[in-house]
Amino acid sequence: MRNIFSCLIIALTFFSFNANSVTLRAVMENVPDTKFIQELLPEFTEKTGIEVEFEVMGYGEMHPKLVPSLTASTGSYDFMPVDFYWVGEFDKAGWMMPLDDMIAKDGFDTSVYFNSLMELTGKVGDTTYMLPFYNYAMGLTVRKDLIENASNQAEFKSKYGMELKIPTEWDEYLKQVEFFTDKDNGFYGVVNQGGKADPIAMEWSNYLFARGGAFHDQNWNGLLNSSNAVDALNDYISMINNYGPIGAESFSFDEAFNVAAQGNAYSYLTYNWFLGSYNDPEQSSVVDKMALIPVPGEGGLNGAWGWSIPKSSPNPEAAWEFLKWVESPDIAKRRAEMGGAATRKDVFDDPALNAKFDHYPGLKNLLATSKNFPVFTYTPQFVEVMGTELSKAVIGEQDAKTALMNMNNQLEELAAKDGKR
Amino acid sequence: MNKIQFYDRRFGYLFVSPAVLILSIVILAPIVLAIITSFYDYTLINRSFENFIGLKNYFASVSNEKFIHSSIVTIFFVLLVVLFEFLIGFLIAILLNQVEKFRNIYYFILLIPLLINPVVVGLIWRMFLHPQLGILNYLIGLIGIDPVNWLGDPQNAFITIIFVDIWHQVSFMIILLLAGLASIPEEPYEAARVDGANMFEQFRDITLPYMRPVIIITLLIRLIFALKTYDLIYIMTKGGPGDATDIISYYIYRSAFIGLDLGQAASMSVILLLIVCVIIYPLFKFMNRADE
Amino acid sequence: MNSNHIQLIGVTKNFDKNTVVNNISFEIADNEFFVLLGPSGCGKSTTLRMIAGLEDISEGKIISNGVDITEEDPKDRNMAFVFQNYALYPHMNVRKNLSYSLKLRKVEKSKINQKIEWVSNLLKINELLDRKPSQLSGGQRQRVALGRSLVREPNAFLLDEPLSNLDAQLRVEMRQELTLLQKDLSKTFIYVTHDQVEAMTMASRICIMNHGEVLQIGKPQEVYDKPNSIFVAKFLANPVNNILKSKIIKKDDSLWIESLNIFINNQNLNNLSEIYFSIRPENLKLNNHDQSYNFEVKIIQIENHGHELLISAQLEFDKQIIYFRTTKDKYFMIGEKIKLYFHIKDLLFFDMITERIIT
């Protein structure tokens, strides 16, 4: 009996040390782009013999999961997607491995990426730390079927004295929201993702930009106490309280999406890749009814993720193999074909894809006009601050001016802490 | 102590030493490390013990109004949650104690929520509580009540969280209190019936005195665990709306991993640890006394 | 109202499919010390608890002083119950234990104190009043349990094996105390026990039960001398009774008891071929005083009980074992053959099938 037992132990130990199969592990967000890659993973394993395991989770869980692994000398994850606003922090802490040598050695072409995206999640200064993975510039999704409806057009014109069309100005959009709200019948002009920290901070940034506001100047002096910002926040408060469904103050992007996808809202400001989900009959009842347009006014919020290899990666060479494969022209195109949000110019210029997706030109335009969130070491912390102050304003615990003043002060404090001013 | 007792003791220590060693490493060492960290300016960006700043982190913590606010929210949460779970749990335990048939089935059903991972509990309830698409508002709509903004209104959110926690954890109380009730002998009750005591008097004069140690221990254990509540808030409200449900463990966590200031977070953790020790102390004394 | 005349009529108790007490009826007169005696599981405690109201009755009636109390709550029956394990309230001191029932009835404080003083003097528990039950010995707890029932001044006391948890010495003392107490109080005591010594020494009447049925009721000496069945004959024995079998053969006008090799005349045995017979060990003598019957036995074993010898011997005929007692000055050898003498009136016969006595 004892001999059998010891044999078993030895056998198990041997198998666990089997050096032939490497398994790459990564934390990935629970979004369509991850699913598209997951479908293609078997091809990678067949080609290279390397297994890949994704730990898929919601956005909020990723940063807390990554940080302990990054601070260890050998972490749990071999490669990672980096959200643009962790870039400052990860760079300062020195957690990312520079990729320039590997890029040069294998002749990987990084000129295919949009410049703005390389600036956001590609290079920091002169060093390349990431390959842009997917973009999530935010845009406005509106019910084009309601806009094209003749009786709506007539009514709108008589009420407001202007044409009902795809909105290009912010005021125009506000009027449309008011027009379409019919709370008694459970239909809302807008659904907001007012949930704390990330959702509300990201969504409101669009309102700020739409009104022509900005976060800070080149010297990192805060600009959040401007009248534009106050108007933008008052807009937001009014949207949630007057024209949106109850509970929007705590919605995540999924929950808000569901309200729109079930046909209960005219508009929803969100990440551009949601368009695919709107047109998926399993998730939505407004297939082909939603249009994706740039945020009316002076621009919306840009966003992207980049692929990076942590310095604490257990298998950096195998990780680089994966990066090369997932960002190869062929795989990138197939991901885009499935509905992925591409970061490469060659994808957007591809005729086949343009034939399939008629929103591509609009999306290209959107990427061109989007603006960036403040990127520095304490970006996540600042997102938290925004989340709290904005949330308090929305529920009426403080007025817009106070909220913005608090945000402004804390932005300047954090910037000073980071040595920016 | 004679020779046999000495060898017995020694054997006992030897037997226990591997476990004690592992526990020391896994539990004691991080605690000690956290306490040490709290006296330094230690951040996740600059992970070094170069800047000793003594009690500065502590002063900063107690004068930090967000920390104070979180503490107050936590205190209210803990008191309400423990109180209601105790009352409801005790009532159910008393009822369950009188049931003979199917008792195991009821027990199992009541136990299920407790067995569910708190993250899953939070996610399920978020779905149920969705103001337009969740089943709860649908059901109350059927009887003509307007949809309730469960998690978006600050007052509601706080109460809703308490309710979900009760749903999740009340069976903890039931288990312990039921075990206590089941161990009470039947005879004093019979003597009381003969003496003329009604149900209430029997409860007050026999059940409660017997249950006193179990009640105290159960309350204290639950209290300590309640102070550590994290998952529910993280999943359901992220401390919002505003900061209506921002409890202390979540606040400390964010200070460490988003604010990246580990020294500050460590000092807040130590303060929390001290509070828990203060609560444990009477429990400890009480349990020692109960051994006599 | 000082009397308590209790009557059970056709009382039956069923637990699911088991009938634990089967259609019993008896009457207890005023001021009796009535003992329910029987082996474990015979239903005596259940019967007592039904009288107290702690168990529901499946069928039948209980009458107390002419009033049907079958449906009454325990507290309304004016009876006190003393439990086998005392059932004291562990979190109250002795004083509070004693006064609990009075407090519930909102009796005024001075009266309560009066009663407590009376009871503690009676039972000599004055020094124990401030102690908690866990600080009392078994005997002390028993007194407090008794005291608790006394304080209520009920019409009847129901005691469920109150002495079985005490050591032998204490039991003897308490037996006497209880007997005296009952006489002092002049109240009905209904007492349950499995110990036939207690029953014999304390009872005014014994009611023997087995398998949920009443077998015999009578004064102790009556039941001892004239048991109506083998069970009673065996049960009431200290330490043991002789119950043996024998064939009966008719010879001329007499009946020959084969195992003992004696001839008797008894008309009731005429038609039987085999019977049980019984003769108590103390009724077998070594000398022929006025006993006219004898038989021979061979000594097998001698037990020295300190105050006497208990000797087992074999019948000559069929080797059945029979016991007899002698004073300790006698000397016997194992294997020795001797004659035992007895008086015919001490020989009892029981039917082979019904096991009941044949008179």
pLDDT digits (tens, 9 = 90+) for A216-245: 988 889 999 999 999 999 999 999 999 999
B127 falls within a domain: yes
Of C199, C194, C160, the C-alpha closest to C47 is C160
Other chains touching C, judged by 3 or more CB pairs under 8 Å:
B
End of a domain among C235, C270, C299?
A: C235
What is the model's pLDDT at position B292? 43
C211 & C267 share domain = no
B149 to chain A: which residues are within 8 Å by CB? 246-247, 249
- Give yes or no for a contact between C20 and C43, defined as CB atoms under 8 angstroms apart: yes
- Give yes or no for a contact between C53 and C69, defined as CB atoms under 8 angstroms apart: yes
C161 & C249 share domain = no
What is the model's pLDDT at position A377? 85
Of A49, A43, A39, A84, the C-alpha closest to A63 is A84
Q: For an interface test with A, which of B44, B73, B132, B137 has the most A Cβ atoms less than 10 Å from its Cβ?
A: B132
C74 & C205 share domain = yes
Find the CATH number of the domain harbouring B119: 1.10.3720.10
| CA dihedral sign of residues C48, C50, C51, C53 | positive
Give residue A132's identity as a one-letter amino acid code.
P
C281 & C140 share domain = no
Domain span at B200: 62-290
Q: Do chains C and A touch (3 or more CB pairs under 8 A)?
A: no
Residues in chain B: 292
Summarised one tens digit per residue, pLDDT across range B167-199 is 999 999 999 999 999 999 999 999 999 998 999
Q: Is B290 on the interface with C (CB under 8 A)?
A: no
Q: Residue C317: pLDDT above 90?
A: no
Summarised one tens digit per residue, pLDDT across range C182-191 is 999 999 999 9
Number of Cβ atoms within 10 Å of the Cβ of A76? 18
Cβ contact C54–B205 (<8 Å): no
- Give the number of beta-carbon pairs within 8 Å between B and C: 56
Distance from CA of C54 to the nearest CA of B (A): 7
According to DSSP, residue A252 is labeled: -
Q: How far is residue A2 from each of residues A5, A6, A11, measured CA to CA in Å?
A: 5, 6, 14
C100 to chain B: which residues are within 8 Å by CB? 192, 195, 197, 205
Burial A64-75 (b: 16+ CB within 10 A, else e): ebbbebbeeeeb
Q: Is C54 on the interface with B (CB under 8 A)?
A: yes
Of A301, A294, A308, A270, the C-alpha closest to A121 is A308
- Give yes or no for a contact between A130 and A306, defined as CB atoms under 8 angstroms apart: yes
DSSP assignment string, chain B: --HHHHHHHHHHHHHHHHHHHHHIIIIIHHHHHHHHHTTB--BSSS--S--B-TTHHHHHHHT-HHHHHHHHHHHHHHHHHHHHHHHHHHHHHHHHHH--TTHHHHHHHHHHHHHS-HHHHHHHHHHHT-TTTSHHHHHHHHTTPPPP-TTTSHHHHHHHHHHHHHHHHHHHHHHHHHHHHHTS-SHHHHHHHHHT--HHHHIIIIIHHHHHHHHHHHHHHHHHHHHT--HHHHHHTTT-STTTT--HHHHHHHHHHTS-BHHHHHHHHHHHHHHHHHHHHHHHHHHHHHT-
B206 falls within a domain: yes
Burial B95-131 (b: 16+ CB within 10 A, else e): ebbeeeeeeeeeeeebeebbeeebeebbeebbebbbb
Q: Residue C127: pLDDT above 80?
A: yes
Q: Residue A12: pLDDT above 70?
A: no
Of C228, C298, C293, C285, the C-alpha closest to C256 is C293
Distance (Å, rounded) from C-alpha A191 to C-alpha A87? 30
CA closest to B258 among chain A residues:
A381
Beta strands in A206-312 (DSSP E): 265-271, 290-293, 304-308
Domain span at C52: 6-235
Pull the structure tokens for residue B17: 């030493």
C154 falls within a domain: yes
C179 & C40 share domain = yes
Lowest mean pLDDT among A27-41, A43-57, A340-354, C299-313: A340-354
What is the model's pLDDT at position C251? 82
Find the CATH number of the domain harbouring C215: 3.40.50.300
| Residue entry with tokens 């929210």 | B73
Q: Residue A1: pLDDT above 90?
A: no
Distance (Å, rounded) from C-alpha A307 to C-alpha A79? 7
More confident residue, B48 or A196: A196
Cβ contact A391–B151 (<8 Å): no
B85 falls within a domain: yes
Lowest mean pLDDT among A113-117, A246-250, A407-411, C4-8: A113-117
C228 & C285 share domain = no
Q: How many domains does chain B have?
A: 1
Tell me the angle at which helices C109-123 and C94-104 cross, rounded to the nearest 10 degrees. 130
Q: Residue A14: pLDDT above 70?
A: no
Distance (Å, rounded) from C-alpha A31 to C-alpha A79? 18
- Give yes or no for a contact between C339 and C284, defined as CB atoms under 8 angstroms apart: no
| pLDDT averaged over every residue in chain B | 90
pTM of the model: 0.79
DSSP assignment string, C125-144: -GGGTTS-GGGS-HHHHHHH
Pull the structure tokens for residue C63: 């009458």
Lowest mean pLDDT among A354-358, B136-140, C312-316: A354-358
Q: How many domains does chain C have?
A: 2
When CB atoms are compared, the residue of B241, B259, B260 closest to A250 is: B241
Pull the structure tokens for residue A110: 């990084």
Q: Is C335 on the interface with B (CB under 8 A)?
A: no
Q: Residue A11's pLDDT band (boundaries 50, 70, 90)?
A: low
DSSP assignment string, B226-251: HHT--HHHHHHTTT-STTTT--HHHH
B34 falls within a domain: no
Give residue A29's identity as a one-letter amino acid code.
E
Beta strands at C205-210 and C188-193: parallel, antiparallel or unpaired:
unpaired
C1 falls within a domain: no
Q: For an interface test with C, which of B183, B194, B202 has the most C Cβ atoms less than 10 Å from its Cβ?
A: B194
Helix (H) or strand (E) segment spanning residue A83:
strand A80-83
Beta strands at C337-342 and A290-293: parallel, antiparallel or unpaired:
unpaired
C164 & C294 share domain = no
* Domain A138-301+376-417 fold: D-Maltodextrin-Binding Protein; domain 2 (3.40.190)
Q: Residue A68: pLDDT above 90?
A: no
ipTM of the complex: 0.82
Q: Is A249 on the interface with B (CB under 8 A)?
A: yes
DSSP assignment string, C315-335: ETTT--EEEEEE-TT----TT
**Every domain of chain A and the residues it spans:** 22-136+303-369, 138-301+376-417
B123 to chain A: which residues are within 8 Å by CB? none
What is the model's pLDDT at position A261? 93
Looking at 3.40.190.10, 1.10.287.610, 3.10.580.10, 1.20.1630.10, the CATH number of the domain A22-136+303-369 comes to 3.40.190.10
